[in-house]
Amino acid sequence: MSDTSSTPSTPLHLAVALDGAGWHPAAWREPQARPRELFDPAYWTDVVTEAERGLLDFVTFEDGLSLQSSRRTEPDGRTDQVRGRLDAVLIASRVAPLTRHIGLVPTVVATHTEPFHISKAIATLDYVSTGRAGLRIRVSRRRHEAEHFGRRTLPRFGPEDLDTPVVRELTAELFEEATDYIEVVRRLWDSWEDDAEIRDVATGRFIDRDKLHYIDFEGRHFSVKGPSITPRPPQGQPVVSALAHQSVPYRLVATSTDIGYITPHDPDQARATVAEIRTAQAAAGRAEEPVHIFGDLVVFLDDEPGAAAARLERLDAVAGQPYTSDAKVFTGTPAQLAELLLSWQPAGLSGFRLRPGVIGHDLEAITRGLVPELQRRGAFRRSYEADTLRGLLGLARPANRYATV
Amino acid sequence: MSTPLKQIHLAAHFPGVNNTTVWSDPEAGSHIEFSSFAHFARTAERAKFDFLFLAEGLRLREQGGNIYDLDVVGRPDTFTILSALAAVTDRLGLTGTINSTFNEPYEVARQFASLDHLSGGRAAWNVVTSWDAFTGENFRRGGFLPQDERYSRAKEFLATATELFDSWRGDEIVADQTSGTFLGDARAGAFAHQGQHFDIAGQFNVPRSPQGRPVIFQAGDSEEGREFAAAAADAIFSRYSTLKEGQAFYTDVKGRLARHGRTHDQLLILPAATFVLGDTDAEARELAHEVRRQQVSGATAIKHLEFVWNRDLSAYDPDGPLPDIDPDPGEHTIARGRAQVRMYRDPLAVAREWRELAAANKWSIRDLVIETGNRQSFIGSPATVAETINSFVQADASDGFILVPHITPGGLDAFADTVVPLLQERGVFRTEYEGTTLRDHLGLAHPGTEAHQERAAS
């Protein structure tokens, strides 16, 4: 065992995706789970603090505008799984003053919310975390979620209809709206130049209003005038990310985000998806801009070989059915996972977003097992090297699109 | 025996984006960095205040077609900053202003229920309305709401949000690891609302929060606003901080409660109040005058006159006499995004009165604006201010005050250190928090039981 036993590679970026008690539907029934505390701030503070102890780049917080469901298109009426959740932006903000380095990336649903509100919410998260905010954008094509808002009627469809023209058209429309949404959010972040606040006592002016800008966005789904009510956040542009499984969302990743999460099941799939995103990026004129691609994996980790697989089997028995996921499900030891991550990395992945099967167990296995394994291989940081999320991701603080040089 | 003394409720209003806030003072700090908010909240909590209050604006103000640049500009998102403040305080209530016009009930109910969970039962919502197309330009709906429908929408918005808060009883999260029952009721959160403004149905996805519902504030002063408050609010953020006006407002609004089947103690009246402290009353008076000169610069005085004149007056000298021309009586176009302009209902009469006052006292434009503007509510030594506040509350001019300091973030420090102990000595202000929730601080019932009973009866 030596720190120099393998060739140092480009350091990996690591994130953890937080959802309830973990990604396995029976996670809440494990002894380490705290299912009665899922609505308490102490639970979220402890979990994010643990992720920060592991020097992770950031955590994401899942969110949605309806009760969780095991069905993709409708409620399931189940009572044997975690149901109910708190607003992800507010969880992130509640945790921000109690952490110092880790990035905080809540999920935001573009389909039913206001880009003006979300832009200032994430800017504010950036202020309260002094530069560690991001967002993960998603769309909702669920009819029952639309009925919670009563503003638009979405077609009724089931899982078998996902590939029909109607659903494909709806998906394209919602992603087009999400693209506009991010454009508005980003313009609003830039709608104040960094030095707009002048506090010039001689002239009595608090701001130089020439450094505030109307964004004048006009789109198919909304028009937004601006400027934001919140000054430009510390990072300038907080980090925008999205999960993508198909060409339409790949284009969103390519045109609008700083990070895309993809779900390859092997390095070849990863390579192909990365290539598709890079092509779309070039087509969007962003070839020169850094867009990180993270691989998503659901992980069950135990030190004892075979123990994680046995644990998953036991969890599946409790749940009454085998666990399936859009992402690859990994069971094994932290060392095996470290090897897998490093062998997938050359497919063009900057890092990975790990979804702990059971947060109470697998998060610590990541921070105290996987991270040291990666450090030993020279593939992960040994201390936080930057104060902002952009800094951790190697993204420069961007120039303001409205500033005249 | 004399009647027992009323207990005073005190709150701290984070300095706002208007000329009450003096940003030019060397003591003035950032209005956007979290450290300012944390300092302010911690001071309020150290002083055992009931809550912190945050205002909101959804479009930067404009005057004469330009973004208004003389006051503090820029503020954070209400929910996000309050949730962060929940992390650096333990007991302080967290009251946020949220507009009912440019939001949807499902999302707002979810944000308040989440904030209430994340603060252990300290959330409050100041429900405001607007209708203007000016603000609407930042939102999906645009300027969709006729002015006379804003209260009807606000009322239905609040009623709908209440249905969402009450869609969970509070006992549904079983989380029994042995039996495998997480949710005790598959229909938890079920709701259906059909009305003039909202037609929504489904399941709310935030379990019942510690307070059941956030405490509800109302701030409008119109007839409709007062009725709205008497029917549905727990507290009013009013603007009548003088003894006589305060008493008149207090009597009026409390008198409306019975008609809504409510009792006297179910609605608190909390006016906004400014203050200046000095070692002596004379010193405080001097300081108060200085502060008013800081608040009303020459440029600010001209802008203030423009609210009344509804014209561009930039050519006038603030140290010179008032304009000879009359106000433009047409539709108000000079200032946008402000409530203040609606205060002058008869601009011609106001202008006439001001000219006479200025002539009689030999006041310049700036002098006039300083002298006719609102004076600080409480000016004096700590003993004087404590005595005045207490006497106002005991005389039913209010149930307490929402204090608006003029300096960020330290403007509350002296009040906390000098006035609060005097109120505590008199036995009219708490020395320790007795409960954990904002409802506890305000002496308001928890709505949990009520919702249970209604449900059991139906």
The full set of domain ranges for chain A reads: 13-140+238-392
B327 upstream amide cis, omega within 30 of 0: no
Nearest Cα to B440, choosing from B63, B85, B93, B86? B93
SS3 category, B118: helix
For tokens 């900057």, the residue is A350
Nearest Cα to A129, choosing from A364, A401, A392, A400? A392
**A151/B103 touch (CB, cutoff 8 Å), yes or no:** no
Residues of B with Cβ-Cβ distance to A75 under 8 angstroms: 203
Find the CB nearest A39 among B117, B200, B298: B117
Structure tokens at B392: 């106002």
List, for residues B266-312, the tens digit of each pLDDT value.
999 999 999 999 999 999 999 999 999 999 999 999 999 998 999 99
Query: Is residue B136 scored above 60 in pLDDT?
Result: yes
pLDDT of residue A4: 40
**A65/B106 touch (CB, cutoff 8 Å), yes or no:** yes
Query: Is residue A9 scored above 70 in pLDDT?
Result: no
Average pLDDT of span B101-106? 96
List, for residues B19-74, the tens digit of each pLDDT value.
999 999 999 999 999 999 999 999 999 999 999 999 999 999 999 899 999 999 99
Average pLDDT of span A224-246? 98
A41 upstream amide cis, omega within 30 of 0: no
Nearest Cα to A354, choosing from A328, A383, A380, A382? A328
Q: Which of B138, B191, B196 to mutate against chain A (most A CBs within 10 Å)? A: B138
**Annotation-wise, does B114 bind a ligand?**
no
pLDDT grade for B330, boundaries at 50, 70 and 90: confident
List, for residues A250-262, the tens digit of each pLDDT value.
999 999 999 999 9
Burial of B320 (0-12, 13-18, 19+ CB in 10 A): exposed
**B86/A94 touch (CB, cutoff 8 Å), yes or no:** yes
**B202/A144 touch (CB, cutoff 8 Å), yes or no:** yes
- Paired with B238 in beta bridges are B271
Residues of chain A with pLDDT > 90, as a percent, come to 96
- DSSP line for A176-207: HHHHHHHHHHHHHHTSB-TT-EEEETTTTEEE
pLDDT grade for A70, boundaries at 50, 70 and 90: very high
Average pLDDT, chain B: 93
List, for residues B339-393, the tens digit of each pLDDT value.
655 567 788 999 999 999 999 999 999 999 999 887 899 999 999 999 999 999 9
Query: Is residue A109 scored above 60 in pLDDT?
Result: yes
Average pLDDT of span B87-91? 98
pLDDT grade for A405, boundaries at 50, 70 and 90: low
pLDDT of residue A129: 98
pLDDT of residue A1: 37
For chain B, domain boundaries? 9-279+378-457, 297-372
Q: Which of A44, A65, A73, A79 to mutate against chain B (most B CBs within 10 Å)? A: A79
SS3 category, B227: helix
- 3-class secondary structure per residue, B413-448: HHHHHHHHHHHHHCCCCCCCCCCCCHHHHHCCCCCH
Closest chain A residue by Cα to residue B204: A66
pLDDT of residue B457: 41
Query: Is residue A213 scored above 60 in pLDDT?
Result: yes
- Paired with A295 in beta bridges are A262, A352
**How far is residue B185's CA from residue A370's CA, in Å, rounded to a whole number?**
39
Lowest mean pLDDT among A1-15, A167-181, B110-124: A1-15
Query: Is residue B151 scored above 90 in pLDDT?
Result: no
**How far is residue B380's CA from residue B284's CA, in Å, rounded to a whole number?**
5
Residues of A with Cβ-Cβ distance to B23 under 8 angstroms: 199, 206
For A232, phi then psi, to 5°, come to: -55, 130
Task: Judge contact between A211 and A192, C-beta under 8 A.
Answer: yes
Average pLDDT, chain A: 96
Residues of A with Cβ-Cβ distance to B202 under 8 angstroms: 66, 144-145, 147-148
Q: Which of B14, B22, B77 to mutate against chain A (most A CBs within 10 Å)? A: B77
Please give the ipTM for the structure prediction.
0.97
For A301, phi then psi, to 5°, come to: -125, 135
| Separation in Å, CA of A201 to nearest CA in chain B | 6
pLDDT of residue B343: 61
**A207/B81 touch (CB, cutoff 8 Å), yes or no:** no
The dihedral built from the CA positions of residue B323, B329, B334 and B335, taken in this order, carries a sign that is positive
Closest chain A residue by Cα to residue B139: A224
SS3 category, B386: helix
Number of A:B CB contacts under 8 A?
Answer: 224
Cα A157 to chain centroid, rounded: 27
Answer yes or no: pTM beyond 0.95.
Answer: yes
pLDDT grade for B145, boundaries at 50, 70 and 90: confident
Structure tokens at B160: 């709908």
Nearest Cα to A241, choosing from A316, A296, A314, A160? A296
Q: What's the Cα-to-Cα distance from A215 to each of A324, A402, B331, rounded to whole Å? A: 43, 9, 27
Cα B231 to chain centroid, rounded: 18
The dihedral built from the CA positions of residue B136, A233, B107 and B158, taken in this order, carries a sign that is negative
pLDDT of residue B452: 46
pLDDT of residue B449: 47
Query: Is residue B331 scored above 90 in pLDDT?
Result: no
Residues of B with Cβ-Cβ distance to A231 under 8 angstroms: 32, 74
**How far is residue A64's CA from residue A145's CA, in Å, rounded to a whole number?**
9
Query: Is residue B216 scored above 60 in pLDDT?
Result: yes
- Topology of domain A13-140+238-392 in CATH is TIM Barrel (3.20.20)
pLDDT grade for B329, boundaries at 50, 70 and 90: confident
Task: Judge contact between A90 and B118, C-beta under 8 A.
Answer: yes
Average pLDDT of span A271-296? 97
Residues of chain B with pLDDT > 90, as a percent, come to 83
**Annotation-wise, does B119 bind a ligand?**
no
Average pLDDT of span A219-228? 97
pLDDT of residue B147: 82
**Annotation-wise, does B97 bind a ligand?**
yes
Average pLDDT of span B392-420? 98
Q: Percentage helix, strand, coil, to 5, in chain A?
A: 40, 15, 45
| Separation in Å, CA of A78 to nearest CA in chain B | 6
> What CATH number was assigned to the domain covering residues B9-279+378-457?
3.20.20.30
SS3 category, B51: strand
- At B96, which helix (H) or strand (E)? strand B93-99
Closest chain A residue by Cα to residue B141: A222
- Paired with A103 in beta bridges are A58
pLDDT of residue B342: 55
Query: Is residue B325 scored above 50 in pLDDT?
Result: yes
- DSSP line for B165-198: HTTS-S--EEEETTTTEEES-TTTTEEEEE-SS-
